[in-house]
Structure 1
Amino acid sequence: MMSFGRITALRGPAAIAVGLAALVAGIVLAAWTERSLGNYQLALQLHGGGVVDLGHSMEPQDGLQGRMVRISGTPRVVEAPYDSDFNQQAVTPVLSRHVQMFQWRELRLGSNVTYELDWADTPQDSSRFAQPQGHANPGPFPLAGERFDAGSVELGGYKLDTALVHALPGSEPVAPDAKTLPANLAASFSLHDGALVTSARPGDPRLGDMRVSWSAVPLQEVTVIARVDGNRLVAVPNADDGKGYEVNVGDSALLDMRPDMAAQPTLVWPRRILAVLLAVLGMGLLLRQRDATRIDPRLALGGGLLVVGVFAAMPWLGSSTAAAIAWFVVALAGLALLVWWHRASRPRHHQHH
């Protein structure tokens, strides 16, 4: 490798070539470092902050208050959800009741209109049918679908906030327990194919018959990214991504859930210093006076700081005023050195009386 002394001793085209290469390398390194750092900080801002990866070590720890954490494990239902209307309960974070009625439905295929009786989870307005006569539906449902949340769901030692409970993925059918039905409903409903139906002959429903079924969010391993608030995990309020949390099925790595976090740059300050040194070397070779025997340090340093400061500030424009100003100050320092060098190098004219 060529020594620093031999590089600075280069003359003519060789000095220009090496100077340009060093200057371009310094500019690219500075701009790339600042852009990657800016992108990472934007990702932090978008999601609500950096994440402490706790893995399966899920007990509350000192120093985590207000921090974002990643935790994996299977949620534990402390207080199971309860459908008091039907006296149904299941060990699940969320229990959902689905209500359907056997109704006429209008099917259109081009200009062809046909009608069929089928289960539908919303009232079908037969008054809007092309042929309402003979296809009249009963109207509003006597029962409504509803969602029932568990009173408390924990992941490790943390209680999950409502938003996180609602974000838990998946759904599986829950067979109702006909034995626990209140007396008034037990007289109307019977168990058929995993649901409660009002049909006299469950396999042959008639217009207006009701069918009620339930589904539950399964208890399975999940990974949660959320903010620690005491012994609770909560969403970050007013996060730029509109959520402030992440929930995935299984033991998901942080970078799988937040790919933009992969851009976290390392060795930021060594890269910045190297960028300045390369630019200083390049400017020193390019700006050296033809008859100079060595590189002027003020000229080289001033030019290097000016160029790196300007190009390093550009990625921050529009995202971080403070970072942009800091780099423009570096550029101004370089400009001040160049002005100083220029004034110091001017020949002095003595006035004769």
Structure 2
Amino acid sequence: MKRPLVLGLALAAIAAGAGWWLLRTPEAPPSAPGSIAIDPAHPDPADEGRTVSLTGELVVEGAAHDDPLGIGTRAPGLLREVAMYQWREHCDGDRCRYDTGWEDGAIDSAAFRQPEGHANPGEQPFDDAAFYADRVRIGALTVVPALLRTLPTEPLPATLGQLPPNLAASFSERDGVLYSGDPDAPAVGDLRIRYRQLQAGTVTLSGLQRGSELQPIP
């Protein structure tokens, strides 16, 4: 009669241990298989060309800046995300329907089966782009932009006051997002521009130690 109680206690202990592990696991810094943990403040030249894992505070020197639009941040990097309000074609067999919506990248309406009345602009005046600070390092190692792109991002609100006067006059702003037209009644060809910035702070990265740089693993 006591066996169910003993079994129940054993299962509870296992569950508690599993729960502790689930809570503890995210605290363990992720690293690439086969990497070696190093002190970023004192990288060893003997580790040249090896896959290393390191944890430390990102130090940002300079600013990430989108010069054409005047948006900048002291974060490691800045991402510009552009969408254009365009005609879209949806075909099922011989039947096609058309609607409008926000899309990344210019859609070639000349390739539509019925291009008449569904014309899109040929190209976008601004495209998606990434901008990085002059230098970002962990300890004595410089983190190259290709590796910075693996960092998590967060929204960066933009304001009209940051834009050059000629662009500020033709854009509007809603919740930190820039629109080249009326966000409540967009027209074909209108742009929507959002920004995200790379998060700084303490991070764990894995990469190749090449001289004074931390580079992506091929």
Please classify the TM superposition score into its range, dividing by the shorter chain length: 0.7 to 0.9
Q: Compared with structure 1, are the counterparts of its residues 207 and 225 closer, same or farther at alpha carbon in structure 2 (3 Å cutoff)?
A: closer
User: Which one-letter code corresponds to 2:187 in the other structure?
Assistant: R
Partner Cα separation in structure 1 for residue 99 and residue 81 of structure 2: 21
Give 2:17's aligned residue: none
Contact 1:228–1:234 (8 Å) recurs in 2: yes
Q: Compared with structure 1, are the counterparts of its residues 88 and 70 closer, same or farther at alpha carbon in structure 2 (3 Å cutoff)?
A: same
Contact 2:159–2:178 (8 Å) recurs in 1: no
Q: How many corresponding residue pairs?
A: 186
Contact 1:198–1:211 (8 Å) recurs in 2: yes
Cα distance, 1:229 vs. partner? 4.1
Residue from 163, 181, 187 that aligns with 2:163: 181
Gaps in structure 1 of 5+ consecutive residues: 1-46, 236-242, 245-353
Give 2:215's aligned residue: 234
Partner Cα separation in structure 2 for residue 171 and residue 154 of structure 1: 18
> Which stretches of structure 1, 4 residues or longer, exceed 6 Å deviation after superposition?
none
User: Which one-letter code corresponds to 2:41 in the other structure?
Assistant: E
SS of the equivalent of 2:91 reads strand
Residue from 100, 107, 110 that aligns with 1:117: 100
Partner Cα separation in structure 2 for residue 67 and residue 133 of structure 1: 57
Residue from 164, 167, 173 that aligns with 1:191: 173
Asked if 1:53 corresponds to 2:34, the answer is: no
Contact 2:180–2:190 (8 Å) recurs in 1: yes
Partner Cα separation in structure 1 for residue 135 and residue 115 of structure 2: 48
Task: Considering fraction of residues, name the structure with more strand.
Answer: 2
Asked if 1:170 corresponds to 2:160, the answer is: no
SS of the equivalent of 2:97 reads strand
TM-score (norm 2): 0.74
Q: Compared with structure 1, are the counterparts of its residues 132 and 64 closer, same or farther at alpha carbon in structure 2 (3 Å cutoff)?
A: same
Contact 1:60–1:231 (8 Å) recurs in 2: no
Asked if 1:66 corresponds to 2:48, the answer is: yes
Cα distance, 1:158 vs. partner? 1.9
Contact 1:75–1:219 (8 Å) recurs in 2: yes
Contact 1:65–1:230 (8 Å) recurs in 2: no
TM-score (norm 1): 0.48
Asked if 1:138 corresponds to 2:121, the answer is: yes
Cα distance, 1:202 vs. partner? 2.2
Deviation readout 1:106-151 (Å, 9 max, x if unpaired): 1124443111111112111111112212111122112222211221
Cα distance, 1:89 vs. partner? 0.6
Contact 1:169–1:217 (8 Å) recurs in 2: yes
Partner Cα separation in structure 2 for residue 105 and residue 117 of structure 1: 6
Residue from 106, 109, 115 that aligns with 1:126: 109
Whichever of the two has the greater Rg, that structure is 1
Deviation readout 1:66-91 (Å, 9 max, x if unpaired): 26332113422222211011111123
Contact 1:64–1:228 (8 Å) recurs in 2: no
Give 2:198's aligned residue: 217
Matches within 5 A, 1:7-156: 51-54=35-38, 57-61=39-43, 64=46, 66=48, 68=50, 69-156=52-139
Q: Compared with structure 1, are the counterparts of its residues 128 and 61 closer, same or farther at alpha carbon in structure 2 (3 Å cutoff)?
A: closer
Deviation readout 1:270-311 (Å, 9 max, x if unpaired): xxxxxxxxxxxxxxxxxxxxxxxxxxxxxxxxxxxxxxxxxx
RMSD (Å), alpha carbons: 2.5
- What percent identity do the matched residue pairs reach? 33
Contact 1:81–1:149 (8 Å) recurs in 2: yes
Partner Cα separation in structure 2 for residue 220 and residue 112 of structure 1: 53
**Greater relative contact order (Cα < 8 A, sep 6+):** 2
Partner Cα separation in structure 1 for residue 154 and residue 176 of structure 2: 12
Task: Considering fraction of residues, name the structure with more helix.
Answer: 1
SS of the equivalent of 1:75 reads strand
Partner Cα separation in structure 1 for residue 215 and residue 130 of structure 2: 21
